[in-house]
């Protein structure tokens, strides 16, 4: 990876981790326990990637894939 790309990646991860920390604090203050937990898991994941303890992608994964569920157009009531 080029140095500029590595710096941008690190900056992005640092920013995400900071925002996740703030969101976690807000969720805890509002007593949204499950939301706080899920945000905490994302925070830990970002930390692990930053420290190099976890890859940023799962091997074999081709990127984000959404469920390929066809959507029906809305019907008139």
At residue 30, the 3 state secondary structure works out as coil
The pTM (predicted TM-score) of the whole model is 0.65
Return the ∠ at Cα 23 (arms to 18 and 26), rounded to 5°. 130
pLDDT in tens, 11-69: 999 999 999 999 999 999 999 999 999 999 999 999 999 888 777 666 655 555 555 66
- Say if CB 46 and CB 10 are below 8 A apart: no
How far CA 24 is from CA of 4, 10, 39, 46, 51, in Å, comes to: 30, 21, 6, 13, 20
């Amino acid at each position: 990876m080029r140095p500029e790309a590595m710096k941008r990646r690190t900056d992005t991860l640092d920013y995400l981790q900071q925002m996740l920390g703030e969101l976690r604090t807000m969720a805890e203050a509002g007593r949204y326990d499950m939301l706080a937990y899920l945000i905490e898991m994302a925070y830990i994941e970002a930390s692990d990637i930053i420290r190099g303890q976890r890859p940023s992608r799962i091997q074999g994964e081709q990127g984000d894939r959404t469920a390929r569920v066809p959507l029906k157009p809305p019907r008139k009531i």
